[in-house]
Amino acid sequence: MANQLATREAYGLALKDLGGRNKNVVVLDADLSKSTKTNVFAKAFPDRFFNVGIAEQNLMGVAAGLAAAGKIPFVSTFAMFATGRAFEQIRNSICYPKLNVKIAATHAGLTVGEDGASHQSVEDIAIMRALPNMTVIVPADATETRQAIDFAAEHKGPVYIRLGRAAVPNVFGEAYEFGIGKAVPLIDGTDVTIIACGVMVAPARHAAEHLVAEGISARVLNMASIKPVDTGAIIAAARETGAVVTCEEHTVIGGLGSAVAEVLAEYAPAPLERVGVMDTFGESGTPDALLKKYNLTEEAIVAAAKKAVSRK
Partner 1 sequence: MSQTLTPEQLSQLAGRAKSIRRNIISMVTEAKSGHPGGSLSAADILSVLYFAEMNVDPAKPQDPDRDRFVLSKGHAAPVLYATLAEKGYLPVEELFTLRKINSRLQGHPDMKGIPGVDMSTGSLGQGLSAASGMALAARLDARNYRVYALLGDGELEEGQVWEAAMFAAHYKLDNLTAFVDFNGLQIDGPVDQVMSPLPIPEKWQAFGWHVLVIDGHDYNAVYDAIQEAKTVKGKPTMIVAKTVKGKGVCQMENVVDWHGKAPSREECEKFLADLEGIEEVK
Which residues are part of the catalytic machinery? Answer: 56
CA distance 131 to 252: 18
Give the range of 60-68, 145-153, 175-183, 271-279 binding partner 1 by CB under 8 A: 60-68
Q: Which of 209, 221, 224, 135 lies closest to 178 in space, CA to CA?
A: 224
Q: Which helix (H) or strand (E) holds 175?
A: none
* Residue 271, number of CB atoms within 10 A of its CB: 17
Classify burial at 46, counting beta carbons within 10 Å of its beta carbon; exposed 0-12, middle 13-18, buried 19 or more: exposed
Closer to partner 1 by Cβ: residue 88 or 177? 88
Q: What are phi and psi of 102, to 5 degrees?
A: -110, 120
> Degrees (nearest 5) of the Cα angle 199, 34, 137?
35
Q: According to CB under 8 A, which one of 69, 173, 175, 269 is a site residue for partner 1?
A: 69
Give the range of 93-101, 157-165, 217-225, 281-289 binding partner 1 by CB under 8 A: 93-101
Closer to partner 1 by Cβ: residue 55 or 180? 55
Q: Which of 1, 6, 204 lies closest to 104 in space, CA to CA?
A: 6
Shortest CB 9 distance to partner 1, Å = 27
Beta strands 167-169 and 4-6: pairing type?
A: antiparallel
Closer to partner 1 by Cβ: residue 49 or 151? 49
Binding mask 251-290 for partner 1 (x = CB under 8 A): ----------------------------------------
Residue 301 near partner 1 by CB under 8 A: no
CA distance 213 to 135: 38
CA distances from 129 to 4, 229, 311 (A): 28, 10, 29
Cross-strand bridge partners of residue 274 = 246
Shortest CB 62 distance to partner 1, Å = 4
Helices 231-241, 256-267: axis angle to 10 degrees equals 70
Shortest CB 89 distance to partner 1, Å = 6
Binding mask 13-52 for partner 1 (x = CB under 8 A): -------------x--------------------xx-x-x
Give the range of 14-22, 57-65, 156-164, 232-240 binding partner 1 by CB under 8 A: 57-65
Residue 78 near partner 1 by CB under 8 A: no
Closer to partner 1 by Cβ: residue 46 or 215? 46
Chain positions contacting partner 1, by CB under 8 A: 26, 47-48, 50, 52-53, 55, 57-58, 60-71, 73, 88-89, 92-93, 96-98
